[in-house]
Amino acid sequence: MANTADIRNGLCIKHNDKLFQIIEFQHVKPGKGPAFVRTKMRQIESGRVLDHTFSAGHKIEPVRIENREHQYLYQESTDYVFMNNESFEQINIPAKMVEKPLFLQEGMVVNILFHAEEETPLVVDLPMYIISEVTYTEPGVKGDTATNSMKLATIASGAEVKVPLFIDNGEIIKIDTRTGIYVERVKK
């Protein structure tokens, strides 16, 4: 058992029977009254952010988690199959644990957060950016580079992304997986 003095950014704790990761914290010692620790925590399963205040010396239960690299292989019914890059073990992950499954590409390396004591997967983190080919979009018109207008484009994985008007079929683009927003065109 640890207490609030052990809180640091990135620490995972069990709070109200759920797993949370500390995003940021602030130790406050007011002039009057007892000290306390103000935290911003992200629930691991849902990704929801919660503000919580602990009184100084409050007991917390730290949880050991591990981040492991896995390679995405294929989809099997409602699960996604990943392979550990070190042991070559395969693991099935339910679709609900992958935040943006339409951005998954075969062979993509992802980070999977594991509960170390129970050996259970918690979260699948995609890379920050992916590079993909545009498989379908309406044709662009010469001179459409001046405005900030966007159009829908379908990429190789089937996801739809808004792209500038000058992007055509077959072009390679870079996409931010956190927001699903077009970043830039990639030269071949």
Q: Please check whether the domain covering 2-62 is classified as CATH 2.30.30.30.
A: yes
| Cβ partners under 8 Å of residue 141, min gap 6 | 165
What pLDDT, on a 0 to 100 scale, did the predictor assign at position 143? 63
pLDDT 10s digits, 152-174: 999 988 889 998 888 888 899 99
65-125 shares the fold of 2-62? no
Stretches where the chain sits below pLDDT 50 are none
What pLDDT, on a 0 to 100 scale, did the predictor assign at position 47? 77
What pLDDT, on a 0 to 100 scale, did the predictor assign at position 89? 92
Radius of gyration of the chain (CA): 22
Instruction: Return the number of other C-beta atoms located less than 10 Å from residue 106's C-beta.
Output: 11
Where do the domains of the chain lie? 2-62, 65-125, 129-186
Nearest by Cα to 184 from 131, 105, 126, 109: 131
Nearest by Cα to 130 from 78, 186, 80, 90: 186
The answer to whether 7 and 62 have CB atoms below 8 angstroms apart is no
CATH class of residue range 129-186: mainly beta
CATH of domain 65-125: 2.40.50.140
